[in-house]
Amino acid sequence: MVEIKTGGNVEFAKGLGGVIACKSSIGYIDGAKGKLIYRGIPIEELAEKSTYEETAYFLIFGKLPKAGELDAFKERLVACRSVPAAVIEILKKLPRETHPMAAMRVGISALGCMDPEGDNMSIEGTTEAGIKIISRSATIAAAIARLRKGEEPVEPRPGLTHAANFLYMLLGKMPDDKMARIMDISLILHADHGMNASTFTAMVIASTMSDMYSAVSGGIAALKGTIHGGANERVVNMLMEIGTPDKAVEYVKNAIAKKQKIMGFGHRVYKAYDPRARILARISEDITRGEKTHKIHEVAKVLEKEVIAVYGKKGILPNVDFYSGCVYNALGIETRMFTALFAVSRTAGWVARILEYLPEGKMFRPRALYEGPEAMKYIPLGER
């Protein structure tokens, strides 16, 4: 195979936009209608009725589990929660100001180095590694959050659900049922979202027969980007900068005049309202009512109204990042940790899609359009 060179009318998609790279039965987005489904079930139904553990099982194994299967899966996740002390020691040696996603990348890589079966790329071996990562990514993220504040990591509690235990380790106190359920729903909403940049990155790495830890580390690296997973952090910073609802109208006018991007609006796929944003908007309204975080939600509502009035007909509407930050802020989670929470959830989708594609045995290998010269002569250093 040779690279394509210029000289003719060659059509190509910049950034592989819209290019179909594989087949999948895991998730589907209908951007025109604002629909998201996991294996045929609408995200709204899963958010209402499912749990993160059940959703992860569903994504990975392709069926809703029976009671015994779900119990066994939960038990396996609980058994994997504790991470080697050496991993925590590595995280402690990182500068406190290290970006949480960079620390997550280090933590998952360290886990891979300490897993004697980590290089086993059989379906069984990769599935086992994936389950460990789904469980332990929450422990690592929570440890990072604690260390950033100069506090010791909190050991996981086996009697809690995945979401409740995650909040417990993050905040150092038992969450109430409402808080735990909100975290559960948030994890479900972020578990998978088509062939996005981080999912594709993870799949490309796995397609080389590297290992699951390397693949997920790559996914984390891609998700760290401010126009991918890091957008929710920027949304909350924007809302805090605006400060009060009465200043939101002027902010929108100034942003439009200066042609500045307003964070949390628009999506590469959705041209209708992001269904995840609808769910999180309701949660944000509920959880912030009567709390000091309510002001941020009120700013968000005014901002949404103003932006939709100008750009709504063009399909520029709130995306999942717009209200997820409001929800996390209301739960008492540090803004810099928002993208790490996203990563904890998305491990299920990364693992599921890697396992689905692995039997193909086909390494991703796109081509490039070469625009450089073809007959340059080498000039010796002394003659340049």
Q: Domain segments of the chain: what residues?
A: 27-224+344-360, 231-330
| 199 C-beta neighbours (distance < 10 Å), count | 24
Put simply, whether the predicted model's pTM sits higher than 0.85 gets the answer yes
Given this model, what pLDDT does residue 295 score? 85
Query: Residues, the chain, total?
Result: 384
Concatenate the DSSP letters of all residues of 152-178 into one string.
PPPPP-TTS-HHHHHHHHHHSSPPPHH
Q: What is the fold of 231-330?
A: Cytochrome p450-Terp; domain 2 (1.10.230)
The pLDDT of residue 267 is: 86
Give the residue from 328, 322, 333, 329 showing the smallest Cα distance to 144: 333
86 phi and psi angles, rounded to 5 deg: -65, -30
Instruction: List the CATH code of the domain at 27-224+344-360.
Output: 1.10.580.10
Q: What is the pLDDT of residue 12?
A: 81
Ranges of residues in the chain whose predicted pLDDT is under 50: 1
Residues annotated as part of the active site = 228, 267, 321
The reported pLDDT for the residue numbered 238 is 93
Per-residue pLDDT at 5: 60
Q: Do domains 27-224+344-360 and 231-330 have the same CATH topology?
A: no
Beta strand ranges found along the chain (DSSP E): 4-5, 27-30, 35-38, 41-42, 369-370
Tokens coding 74: 């939960």
Interhelix angle 320-330/294-311, nearest 10 degrees: 170
pLDDT at 6 (0 to 100): 56
Q: What is the predicted pLDDT for the residue at 218?
A: 98
DSSP state of 318: B
Q: Looking at residue 19, what is its pLDDT?
A: 87
